[in-house]
Every structure is written in structure tokens, then in C-alpha cells.
Structure 1
Amino acid sequence: MAKTIRLTTAQALVKFLNNQYIEFDGKKNKMFKGIFTIFGHGNVIGLGQALEEDPGELIVHQGRNEQGMAHAAMGFAKQKLRKQIYACTSSVGPGAANMVTAAATATANCIPVLFLPGDVYATRQPDPVLQQIEQPTNLSISTNDAFKAVSKYWDRITRPEQLMTAMINAMRVLTDPADTGAVTIALPQDVEGEAYGYPEYFFAKKVHRIDRRPPTTDMINDAVKLIKAKKKPLLICGGGVKYSEAWDTFRNFAHKYNIPFGETQAGRGLIVWNDKMNLGGIGETGGLAANIIAKKADLVIGVGTRYTDFTTSSKWLFQNPQVKFLNINVSEFHAYKLDGMRVVADAKAALEAIDSALDKAGGYKSAYVNEIREAKEKYDTEVDRVYHVKYTGKDFVPEVNDALDHEKVFEEFHNITNSYMTQTNALGILNEFLDDKYVVIGSSGSLPGDLQRVWRVKEKNSYHVEYGFSCMGYEVNAALGVKMAEPDKEVYAFVGDGSYMMLHSELPTSIQEHKKINIILFDNMAFGCINNLEIGHGMGSFGTEFRFRNEKTNKLDGGLVPVDFAMNAASYGCRTYKVTTAEELRHALADAKKQSVSTLIDVKVLPKTMVHGYGDWWRVGVAAVSKNPRINKVYEETYKKIKQAREY
């Protein structure tokens, strides 16, 4: 009989987490750095007791909001390239429900996070307990069942011995490069404290090796045949290149075969902006160069991309009637997309194998001559222009939609803030300033689109944008996780006023933890991205500008609502700045860099001055019937575009 150790379920869980390791390319490290907690009656006496008594090497962090702390955990794991992660625990009920959004964000982005929500009593004896939802048709359902739809693995521990198989399966998913994401292990509060004689070998050191999945010979032969048959290929650099740590291999491949590449949000930031093959962001939020080349490409080689609608412009972008798709992806699910030829393998292993096979087949060179250089020159000129767009009260801003009465809104905003600064001018100043050991973070609103279109990445892994779920509230909270992952770098969260108000809970946690983060808050008194979307589709500014209710109309069409965000952050202990001019922004950035505490720069930017699209299209639902002739026109145009798009 194996030797056993009598522990509670919670104590066994903590001991198990302390003995998990990840190995990748011969490098080995502890898998779990720590655990974020907000304790309540559903987990404090169980898991909380275990962590107080013997946390091992796990660092325990106190969150302020369950969603916020889980976003911090996700930011950490993403910045660590999925090679080290955090767990998150909350009480039963609303605490658990708060984490569901973060679990969805992690799963959509294929980022491993372990969720450990407390749960209702397995015995059901004291039911209904505080915070319990009773479903008369099924008493086994609790709030935690909501995690099922957003988790890659879900389990509920109703007996102490179930922990063993549950956690082995949890590790399987958390370390799976093809199918990782949120893992939820629900812990009924009575079971957390129940004891069991666990076999000692359950707590033995376990090394989870993330192997590079090799491609088959047939896959490589098919890929080589397809590449050699095409003249104008285009690479897409997706998140799989990042997590495979294949950036050098990818870059060398592009240069050797004269194949330009566009970047997805997840794959952006691995190769510097001025690399001669780097066309920048691609698709709906892509830049000028990538979208010019994409339309004529006869082969799209997607490396580690999920082919989201933003990457493909709703399957419309690739207009060459002879275009084919070669999909290199460790996930068979993603490799099957767009009916492409599949190389199901690790990105680095696949590119190396294709490279070797191309050499043996007599080599290859694309037929591009001047097209790549010309596209990049147009793109660089456009970025320079956008960075210097200004408004003085007289000059028209080209980025603003013509249908909008922009001057009236500009003057109203200026009268409140005394600012005429445009969003793109602010980004230009930021890009000029940030040049050494930094990470920029974005997630929602207009900023991710602006960043993918015009941000110039100057060093590897300095671009951290969550756009798989585009979750408002990710930015500030993930910044804490990024700082914990890379404490020697200056971390800048680019966030709109709407997203900041949605959730910035871990800003005070950054003060508590002595982890300095910098918040660059773009205040335009609106949900600017969606305001732009509705205007571009024939509507007015309905429900997207932040306006007082008008007592005469009983609608939200009164004056703009001003907020002093600097005052809010100062109350937490941050060093804060109020900015309305370029000079003030430069001064604030320089001074913020000298600080040892978290900072917030409240930048007042004119509404409706985001970057607009470059030869892209995005399918959204448009009303088929309207009294507005502009909407009717957009509807007609939409279905012309749909006819030009791939059907699957």
C-alpha cells in the first residue's frame, strides 16, 4: 500500500499546486507563481485556512474585484508566454459570478488561468445557504455552472478523493498549447474542509513538458508543393508564433523567401516595425501596407492564427480569385479554418521543416519586386501623417466621419476641457517617448484598433493587447499582472474613459504590492469605438456619448459629462497628471517615469479622432428596414460586400 498523507481537500490542493513544474525547450520552472484571492464564507475557512497554514512557495495576493484580479492573472500568464501562471479563488455566489467574464477572456485568448471558486454544500444539508441560487428543476446547479460555457475544463469536487483526477486533468489542459484556456475547479465549502488520506505520490514533483508537436512528412510535402506553385504569398504572424517562441524562425523564413507578413493582435510585437518584411497589422484593424498586399496575395500562410473576423475582414480581405490558404497551427481545429491546407504542428517546428524541404526542392523566392517596399513606404508616410494630425478650432480633421457634426462636438468638448488634442497625436507622442524596456497594454474601445494600425513596435514582446474577447476593464488590471511578470519594465496601460470606469480594481492593488504601473487614460467622454461604428453605419450618436439626461426631451442628449479621473486615481495613492496639450503630455510622461508608485495621466482627447480603416471591411448586423436613407444605403453596401466574401 502506498503511504498516505491525511489532509483536507484544500490543503491537498495547495500542496499539489506547489509541486507542478513546466518544461519547455529544456527550461524548467515552477508552474504556479501564486494565487489571487478574495475570501468569503465559501472559501476562507477551507482554502484560506490551507493557504494561511502552509502556502508553500505560493505568493498570495489580495484582489479588489474578482474579475479584476483574474485579469491580472491572465496578463501575467500572457506576458510569461503561458509558461507560468496564477490561480484565482473567490467565494460562492457573486464572487464566483464576477470571475466568469475573466474566464471567458482567458479562454477566448487561449491563456491558461486556474479558477477555484467556492461552491454550495455538497451535502445540501443547510440549503439554501447564503448566496446560493436555487433551481427547482435541478438542485445540483450552482452559480459555478456558468463557468462551463467559458472553460476549457470544468469540474466540481463533491468528494475529497475526486481532487486527484480533477487536478491531473486540469494540468493536462493548462499545459496544452493547442487547447488551453480557463480551467475551473469548483470547491463546495464543506468538501474544502473534509479530510482524506491522499497517496503520497499525488504530491510528487510533476514536470509537464510542453513538447513541440512535429509535422508529418506528408504535411510538409503538401505545403512545399503549394508554396512553389504560388508567386505572391503573404504570411500572417499569429499568437502561435509568440507562444512557440518562434519569432526568429518566422522572421528568417520571411526574409529568406521574400515573403512579407501581416500581424494579428496576438502576434503583433514579436518583430520590430521597421523590419523590411513587416507590413504591420492586418485586417479590419490593420494598416495600409498589409491590407494592400493581402488583396492580391495568391497564397496566405497563416502561422498560429485563429483567423478571426478582424484578421480576415469577415473573410472579405483576400480578393485574389486564385488565393489558397496554408494553415500552420498546433490546433487542428484552427488549422481546418478557411478550408486551407493543414500543417498541424508547433509553429517553429513546422517552419523549420518547410524551410528544409524547400531547400531540398531547389529553393523558392516570391515574385515580389518593389511591391513590399512601396507598400511599406505608403504605410510609413501615413503613420507619420496620423501622428501629427492636429485641430486648432479651425482645421478640419480628415479622420472624422464627414456625416458627423464634428465641429460642434469639438467646441463643446474644448469648452469643458480646454483641450484640442487628437487621439492620434497623443499616440504619436507616446510612441516617440517609449523607446526602452516598456510594455503597452490595450484591450477594448478604439485604442486596440489604433494600436494595431499605427503603433510602431520598437522591441520584442512590448505589445500586449487582448482582442480575442475585447474585454472592457482588462487593461488596468492586466497591467498589474504584466508588471509582476516583468518587474524591470515600465508598464503602460492604454485605456479609454469608458473601460476605466468599467473596471480598474487592481490599480489600488498595484499600490499595495509596490508594483508600479502607468495608466494612460484617453478621456473623450464617450464609448468612442462604438460611437464611430454607429455613425459609420448611418446612425447618429445614440447612447454612446456620455451626456446628461435632458429634462426637456427625457433623453441622454444634454451636455457632455466631465470626470476628473486624476482625482480618482490620486485617492488610491497614485501620482497623477492632467493633460490637455502635447507639451503637458511630454512633461507628464517624463515625470511619471521617475516615480516609484503607480501613475495615471488623464489625457483629454477630442472625441471621434480615432484612426479609421485602411481598405478593410467588417460585417456587422445592419437594419434591413429603416426610415433613415443613410442606413438603407449602408445595408445595400453591406450585402455587396457579403457577396465578395468567402462563405466559409
Structure 2
Amino acid sequence: MTQHEKTIRLTVAQAVVKFITAQHSVADGQRRRFIPAAAGIFGHGNVAGFSQAFSQYSDELPFIQGRNEQALGHAGSALAKATRRRQTLAVTASIGPGAMNLVTAASLATVNRLPLLLLPGDTYATRRQGPVLQQLEDPADPGLTVNDALRPVSRFFDRITRPEQLITALPQAFRVLANPVETGAVVLSLPQDIQSHAYDYPVELFRPRDWTIRRPIPAPDEVADVAERIREAERPLLIAGGGVHYSEAGEALERFAESTGVPVAETFGGKGAVQHDAAWFLGGIGLEGNPATNRLVARADLILSVGTRLTDFATGSQTMFQDPGVRFASINVTELDALKQGAAAVVGDARLGLEGLAEALSGHRVAQDWSEEIAARKAEWAPERSRALDPDVPFDRAAAEAEGLEIPATDAEVTQGQLIGLLQEHARSGDTVIAAAGGPPGDLLKVWDATEGRACHLEFGFSCMGYEIPAGIGVRLADPDPEKRVTVFIGDGTFLLNPTEILTAAQERLDVTYVVSENHGYQVIRRLQMMKYGEQFGNDFRYREPGEGGRLEGGYLEVDLEGIGGGLGATAIRATTAAEVRRALDETRGSSGPVLIVVPTVPLVDLPGSGVFWDVAPAEVSEQEWVAPLREEYEQGLAEQRWHV
């Protein structure tokens, strides 16, 4: 200490870490460490500065050693999602490739409105060394570094070239992290020489500080306007998004729906917003939603979206809202999202907005014929869902082939739908199932029962392969209770992209279960390819045929997925039959450390379709005669698109 303890001399890296340890989020009176842990991989761009600082403060800020910087960023985003944006990780990386590995993680966090603090090393601020290892040289901009690639995918970016810049940069960074309107990836880019420079910082900078996650209060006139639209509507329908979770508005949503009878559908982000299977609850919406929900959406004359960005998966590329006079209303903390579809907007907190609407609509209920139509559609879907998930009905290969499916011969005995059925019957209140890219998130949106405390953690804003495995780490960090199972449901294609954070889970002794659906390829993209091109190309995992010009159409690749997981520290099991899957799930519940259960699933067998168009264009011209009919079908779908302004 100096000057009567008014300042403290620290390096830039020490100051950053010391500041982080003193920051707290406060929401609804609950106070917690905003950054409960740091993570990273050290290289020449951060080893001298940040490794020393993290080591010095390791008793206050635990450090997680990772295998891939991108994955560590995903773990931070998953922690943020699981804690309703109350916590996240700080992730450090070296300059060059290490920093660039953070670009995808930053994109995911920003797209999903999730707080994530990134601390990449950067090239020397003094420049006296000349070009350094991994430095990009731009003749038109000497100050440009590869870290500038993080600017467009972050909500806050600051390159610290002087130690005293931290005095304003650090509070600004945490202001953005804690702001539900602005939150996303926050980047402090730190040149490696500056990390080790010392400065006399004011002691006041490091006092414990609380960052209130505010609830913007909706304007009464906006609430009244939306309430009036609901009163006027004959067939209103509510779409619940991730904002319902972040504002902890689930109970308010259920009270609103129960009192008014307005049916509720869920987006990927909103999955699990409704915790009781009431008469008005519809389930998933959109391209991967269930067909019953989508038929009702097509009939709705008022769409009330709450806490959602309404991307094209939820809107069927703007083809789902078919009522000629359909109108839109919304509740959203972000004005950009609130005004989409030309909606009458309530700009404010989802919980407060729903409570205000419920009060304004006291005594109002939807028409009886709309409630009856909802009940009829739900009754149609229920047995179809049950048949697709029932693991005790043997897969009928002959019947599938009679319908035109050419099912490859494998050792699989269950379909992916039946595997989900097995996971569903095993799930208890407090458990979480995680999925992101490929078929699993769409299948879970369509059929998973996320009521009664069975959480469903879907990242589909960025549809990011590689999120799932580290997401298990983030979700487990959010709640270490061993009685609550964390299950990552993942296809073999995504698993092979980057399985290495299983080793991090083992190193940290984290109980995470990884269930791999082994269907020999990128099968959900193969499905789309067949719909939009008409032939499989480059999606099945096959050996190249011998000889010149041989294509990737030989036998399936021989991949030892259990060996990969076991070699990375997981308890690895292969389960082929429904009975074996049940036994593997039961025997490993409560196991210490990561568990990998590989389940062969029958390729090319999908859950029932959603009946929704997606604007993915087949080739307009082609020498392959089967493409033209697909293009014609696509153009017919385009005719259903509408602008809602």
C-alpha cells in the first residue's frame, strides 16, 4: 500500500483478477459471485502476466485448465444460461490462435444474450520488438491485430494499452455483463507486455461491488394496448422464449395462461418455461416444433411473443402465421426484439409485463371454441408422440422400407426417438438434459417433457456444434448437487468435433453424463440435404471407395467412441438394446466423474415432421433431373411467406 493505503501497486493482470474477485450480481435480493471461476490455456501471450495473477489469487478465484479456448467460453455461456445470467466465467487465451478460438464462443454468447468475460492476450503495445509470433501485419493499419475479429461478435470490446485504462474499462465491462438489454460477450484485449506493467491503482476500485440485474418496468399504456388486442382477438396464442427463464417469469406466465386460457407454445430458448402440462400448454413451436402446435399457430389471429427473438425456426421463415388478419404483440426487455413483426410492444421485464397483462385482463377468457380446438389438436398429437418414443415397441425395419426408407444395416436396435423415450423415463425433477446442434435439440423441442422440474437446456440461437460437451461442465458448475443428473445428449458427428473437455470434467471431478446417439453421420443435415437436393453427399461417415474417382460411399467408418471417452477419463459404456440403456442409466446415476454412454441408433429414422416450411433454396438450375421438382416445391413454399410490418 502507498499514500496511506489509498492506492495499491499491482500489475495490469493482477488488477484485472483482483477486480473480478470482488464483483457480485444481485437479482431479486439474491447476491452471488458474478465470476465464480476463471478458465483458460496459457501461451506466450498470457503466461507471464495472467498466469502469475491467477496463481496469486487462486484461493479467491479457482482456475480451470482447459483443452480448447472455444470450449471454455461455451462452458461460461452454459453457466450463464443455467444461472439465469447471474454468473459466468472469465476465460483467458494467448494471442493468435488461442484468442481466435474465442471468436465462436463470443458469437454464441452474444447471439444468445448471455454474459461472458473474455481476456485474450494481444501483441505488444510498445511495438519495439518488431513483428512477434502470431502477429497479423496490415500495411494500412499498424494497430490492427487478430483480436479485432472479436469486435463484431462482442457487446463490449476494449484494448488496454495503458494500465490506468482499467479504472474505467473494468466497471464498464461489468455494467454490460449485468445489463439484460446489452449483455453478451465482453472482451478486454490485453497486450502481453501491458499485462505485466504495474500501476498505483486506487484501493476503491477493488472494493466489493454489486451489479443489480434490473427489471425494466413496462409502461402502463403499452400494457393496456396489448391487453386490448388480446380482448379483441378470437384466437390469441403466446410464444414463450428464453426471456421467460431469465426473468424467472414462469409462474407469472402460468398464472396468466390459467386465468385467460391463452395457449402457450415454447421456442428452443423457452423450453421448460411451462412447468405443468395444463390444457392450454402446446409445447414446441416452429420448424422443429410439434405439428399440433404449428396448426394452431396457423389459425391464431393474435401472436403474443414473450422474451423471444422470433428467428426463422420459430416463424417457419415467415410462413406460419396464416390468419389473414393476424396481429402481433410482444413483451421484451430489448426494443429491437420487441418491435419485430410490427408488434405492439411492451418494452420491459417479462415477469412484470405478464403480471401487468394478467391484471389488465382480469375476468377475460378466450372463446370456448378456441379452447376446444386446442384440446382437439393436443389429443391428436399425444398418441403420435407416444408411439415415436416407446422403446418397448421393436423397430419395424420392413414397415420403414415399405414406406420408401432404405435403412442401412447396423447393430442399432433403437431409434433416436426411442432413445429419447428412455432418457425421458429416467429423468427426475432437478435433472437437466443439454443439446445444441444437429438432430438432438430439434427432437427435444418436439417431444421432451420439460415439466415438473425436468430442465431442458437447448442452445439453438447459434446452433453451435461443440457447445454441448463443455456446456455440461457449465451446468454442473451452476449446481453441483449430485442428486440432480446433468445429461448431454449429442450425436456422434458433434461428439467427434471436439470431445476433449470430457478430460476437463474428469480433472475437475464433475459428474456429467454424455449420451451419444451413434447414427453414423451428420444425419439431420443429411435429412435437409435430401429435402433440398435429393441425394446424400458428404454427410454419412463412410470410407472412400477404392480406385480413382472413388466416392465417400463405402462402409461406415469404424470409430471406437467408447475408447475415446474412456481414454479421456469417462466411465464408458456401449448400450445397444433398450434394456441395456436402462441399466446403464440406472447404474451410473450418482457416479463420480464423467460417464459416456454410446447408443447405436437406427440411421435415417426421424420423429414425425412439424409440417413447417424452411427457406433453404434448392439449386435454381441443375443437370440432375430430380432437382427441378424440389425447386418447384420450394417456390410454392415461398408463396406462403408474408411480411408482418
TM > 0.5 fold call:
yes
What's the counterpart of residue 182 of structure 1?
Answer: 185
What's the counterpart of residue 637 of structure 2?
Answer: 641
Pairwise CA distance, 1:560: 1.1
Summarize deviations over 1:370-424 as a string: whole Å, max 9, x none: 11211211221111011137665743239x9x665x13x2x2xx2xxx2232111
What's the counterpart of residue 503 of structure 1?
Answer: 498
What's the counterpart of residue 515 of structure 1?
Answer: 510
Of residues 602, 612, 623, the one that matches 2:598 is 602
Does residue 43 of structure 2 align to residue 61 of structure 1? no
* 1-structure distance, mates of 2:581, 2:365: 49
* 2-structure distance, mates of 1:151, 1:375: 42
Q: Which runs of 4+ in 1 moved over 6 A?
A: none
Of residues 208, 218, 225, the one that matches 1:222 is 225
Contact map agreement 1:9 1:195 (CA 8 A) in 2: yes
Contact map agreement 1:112 1:181 (CA 8 A) in 2: yes
Matches within 5 A, 1:513-552: 513-552=508-547
TM-score normalised per structure 1 = 0.95
Does residue 263 of structure 2 align to residue 281 of structure 1? no
What's the counterpart of residue 374 of structure 1?
Answer: 376
**Counterpart secondary structure, 2:265:** strand
User: Which of 154-163 and 53-62 deviates more?
Assistant: 53-62
One-letter identity of the residue aligned with 2:45: G
One-letter identity of the residue aligned with 2:477: M
* 2-structure distance, mates of 1:142, 1:65: 21
User: Which of 634-643 and 346-355 deviates more?
Assistant: 634-643
Identify if the C-alpha distance between structure 1 residues 636 and 214 changes in structure 2 by more than 3 Å, giving closer, same or farther: same
User: Which of 625-634 and 300-309 deviates more?
Assistant: 625-634
What's the counterpart of residue 33 of structure 1?
Answer: 36
Does residue 155 of structure 2 align to residue 160 of structure 1? no
One-letter identity of the residue aligned with 2:568: Y
Pairwise CA distance, 1:607: 1.1
Pairwise CA distance, 1:25: 1.2
Pairwise CA distance, 1:358: 2.2
* 2-structure distance, mates of 1:329, 1:32: 26
Matches within 5 A, 1:122-201: 122-201=125-204
Contact map agreement 1:272 1:456 (CA 8 A) in 2: no
What's the counterpart of residue 557 of structure 1?
Answer: 553
**Counterpart secondary structure, 1:163:** helix
* 1-structure distance, mates of 2:149, 2:379: 49
User: Which of 566-575 and 250-259 deviates more?
Assistant: 566-575
Percent identity, aligned pairs only, is 40
User: Which of 156-165 and 381-390 deviates more?
Assistant: 381-390
* 1-structure distance, mates of 2:278, 2:62: 40
Matches within 5 A, 1:5-404: 5-55=8-58, 57-272=60-275, 274-359=277-362, 363-367=364-368, 368-388=370-390, 394-397=397-400, 404=405
Pairwise CA distance, 1:131: 1.8
What's the counterpart of residue 486 of structure 2?
Answer: 491
What's the counterpart of residue 455 of structure 2?
Answer: 462
* 2-structure distance, mates of 1:615, 1:567: 40
Pairwise CA distance, 1:137: 2.2
Pairwise CA distance, 1:461: 6.3
Contact map agreement 2:160 2:191 (CA 8 A) in 1: yes
Stretches of structure 2 that go unaligned for 5 or more consecutive residues are none
What's the counterpart of residue 576 of structure 1?
Answer: 572
* 1-structure distance, mates of 2:232, 2:34: 44
One-letter identity of the residue aligned with 2:565: A
* 1-structure distance, mates of 2:294, 2:204: 55
Contact map agreement 1:270 1:461 (CA 8 A) in 2: no
Aligned alpha-carbon RMSD (Å): 1.7
Contact map agreement 1:259 1:366 (CA 8 A) in 2: no
Summarize deviations over 1:41-84 as a string: whole Å, max 9, x none: 11111111111123462111111111111111111111011111
* 1-structure distance, mates of 2:276, 2:514: 24
* 2-structure distance, mates of 1:627, 1:255: 56
Contact map agreement 1:254 1:277 (CA 8 A) in 2: yes
* 1-structure distance, mates of 2:346, 2:214: 16
TM-score normalised per structure 2 = 0.96
One-letter identity of the residue aligned with 1:627: E
Pairwise CA distance, 1:366: 4.0
* 1-structure distance, mates of 2:452, 2:78: 18
Contact map agreement 2:24 2:208 (CA 8 A) in 1: yes
What's the counterpart of residue 626 of structure 2?
Answer: 630
Contact map agreement 1:241 1:304 (CA 8 A) in 2: yes
Contact map agreement 1:273 1:458 (CA 8 A) in 2: yes
* 1-structure distance, mates of 2:345, 2:86: 26
**Counterpart secondary structure, 2:345:** strand
Identify if the C-alpha distance between structure 1 residues 100 and 532 changes in structure 2 by more than 3 Å, giving closer, same or farther: same
* 1-structure distance, mates of 2:135, 2:198: 24
Contact map agreement 2:77 2:115 (CA 8 A) in 1: yes
Contact map agreement 1:77 1:112 (CA 8 A) in 2: yes
Question: What is the number of equivalent residue pairs in this alignment?
Answer: 636
* 2-structure distance, mates of 1:354, 1:483: 36
Pairwise CA distance, 1:610: 2.5
What's the counterpart of residue 419 of structure 2?
Answer: 426
Summarize deviations over 1:163-201 as a string: whole Å, max 9, x none: 122212211211111221111110000110111111222
